[in-house]
Amino acid sequence: MNRRDFVATSLNVAGVAAAGALTSPLSPALAHAMTAPLANDTTAPRATRKILIAGGGFRTKFIAYMAQLTGKTRPRICFLPTASADSPQSAIGFYQACAPLNVEPFVQNVFIESLSQTQGWDEVLLSADAIVCSGGNTLNQQAIWKAQGIDVVLRQAWDRGIVLGGASAGSLCWFEEGTTDSRPKALSIVKCLGFLKGSHSPHYDAEAGRRPLYHKLIGSGEMKPGYACDNDAGIYFEDNEVKRVVHTRAEARVYHVSVVNGQVVEKVMQPEMI
């Protein structure tokens, strides 16, 4: 066969194969591969990244709002009590807060061993519709998450649109930095995941040392401007934009603290009742 005949024959065979592929049913895997967006396709829609925080008191009404944000009829809500050292009392409190709600609550401890913990962190956390992180010791929480690789999985969860949140250590953990009582003797600075830009101070009305220290650190430039939340008050963020300021107690407030013309300015952000 000469070169011209070989090329013509090859083209005819390819054409027949293509025609057959068009008339034959595709396998589900092949159909998905053909319609799925490419990894570098910038036109593919990205999930809305959601975080709901409170200064303290992430109980039934906050969890109900979080459930609503998932868009699911009966969302699976994971409780991650790392900051409380997987305290059973913390887990019981979470289940009690969820009891009146149409949600599927479950707890994921981190003080585990592989014989009984047969799923990876990604399998567990990415199967949830929302993740609530407990209060407690933020410094220890961050160290454990980084050692276990949970920080990476939480970033994946955020990017996928799984609603993240919590109060106290469970609110502070999402910011770049904030004030913490995680060390001996005095309140201090803790560096966190940095999903939310800037700083955060929880328990703003509940612990006397929080407000003066937050003002001092922001005024001196040691800490970035950010958001302070009273107990029972919080913020819902989409990406890094404040979408709604909320509370469950009439007196509870949210504040944005920054420096203007060399002076610390505390701006009240009036919340809505939930």
Exposure of 124 by Cβ count < 10 A (0-12 exposed, 13-18 middle, 19+ buried)? middle
* Measured distance CA(191)–CA(151) in Å, rounded: 13
Catalytic residue among 168, 171, 182, 199: 168
Structure tokens at 34: 């053909």
Catalytic residue among 200, 203, 215, 247: 203
215 is catalytic: no
* Measured distance CA(248)–CA(98) in Å, rounded: 16
Structure tokens at 162: 């799984």
Neighbours of 89 (CB within 10 A): 9
Q: What is the DSSP letter of 271?
A: P
27 is catalytic: no
Q: Which residues pair with 263 in a beta bridge?
A: 260
Identify the three-state secondary structure at position 149: coil
* 46 phi and psi angles, rounded to 5 deg: -105, 145
- Residues labelled catalytic: 168, 203
